């Protein structure tokens, strides 16, 4: 029985590698299509293609180590440029923040005008998860309080084909002194404090268990950039 299980595992791994290699071969065609759409000023459609390129590039690098980092840096910047063209500057800045020291990033940041700080907490906040996907917090006003929704992802080696692990929570709360804390109703040892600034949200978990009941590897922790 162990022999058959081992054979099955190896066949599955080989099939996965073959499928992923095919995606790697498609990267030039995806970039070409994106460039065509970009030159036609179809920026939203171009962005979808560029995001696909990001996903393929990251997966091929982590699985085969056959992609130069500079190619991935350019891909992030290509996505940012589509947002810049649509004057969606905060989302552009989020993409540029993935590789802040890349030469292209410095050039493209100069295309973004100075943005007025936002003093209210409601909005959308992003933290990069990988493969063109983002962990997100969405904050909306709700009956003189705020409804806060978290959607988290863990992007792993096989996420391109199998999808990421996911976790989420939602609650309604006042926000006092730019802070609020969520307590997991199913595990009161898990508390997540949110700290707001003009342009960021920082989540800090206090928990006896590491995942707070989210999917494997999913965490809310980190600093999120406001994009709306």
pTM for this model (two decimals):
0.91
Helix (H, G, I), strand (E, B) or coil at 157: coil
Give the HSE-up count for residue 14: Cα atoms under 13 Å, Cβ half-sphere.
Answer: 6
What count of other Cβ atoms lies within 10 Å of the Cβ of residue 10?
10
Q: Could you tell me the CA-to-CA distances from 80 to 20, 74, 163 in Å, in that order?
A: 26, 10, 24
Q: What is the pLDDT along the chain (228 residues), one digit of tens a residue?
A: 444 433 333 334 667 788 999 999 999 999 999 999 999 999 999 999 999 999 999 999 999 998 999 999 999 999 999 999 999 999 999 999 999 999 999 999 999 999 998 989 999 999 999 999 999 999 999 999 999 999 999 998 888 988 999 999 999 999 999 999 999 998 888 999 999 998 999 999 987 665 688 988 999 999 999 999
Q: Could you tell me the CA-to-CA distances from 221 to 133, 201, 216 in Å, in that order?
A: 16, 10, 14
């Amino acid at each position: 029985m162990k022999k058959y299980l081992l054979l099955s595992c190896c066949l599955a791994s080989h099939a996965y590698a073959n499928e992923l290699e095919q995606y790697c071969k498609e990267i030039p065609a995806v970039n070409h299509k994106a460039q065509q759409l970009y030159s036609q000023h179809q920026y939203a459609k171009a962005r979808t293609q560029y995001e696909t390129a990001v996903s393929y590039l990251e997966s091929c690098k982590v699985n085969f180590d056959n992609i130069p980092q500079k190619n991935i840096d350019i891909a992030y910047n290509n996505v940012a440029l589509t947002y810049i063209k649509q004057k969606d500057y905060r989302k552009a800045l989020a993409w540029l923040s993935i590789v802040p020291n890349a030469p292209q990033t410095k050039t493209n940041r100069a295309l973004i005008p100075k943005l007025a700080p936002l003093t209210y907490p409601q909005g959308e906040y992003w933290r990069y998860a990988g493969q063109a996907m983002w962990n997100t917090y969405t904050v909306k006003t709700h009956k003189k309080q705020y409804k806060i929704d978290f959607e988290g992802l863990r992007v792993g080696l096989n996420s391109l084909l199998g999808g990421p692990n996911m976790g989420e929570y939602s609650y309604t709360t006042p926000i006092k002194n730019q802070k609020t804390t969520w307590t997991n109703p199913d595990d009161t040892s898990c508390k997540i404090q949110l700290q707001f600034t003009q342009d960021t949200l920082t989540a800090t978990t206090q928990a006896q268990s590491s995942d707070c009941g989210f999917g494997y590897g999913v965490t809310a922790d980190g600093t999120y950039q406001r994009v709306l």
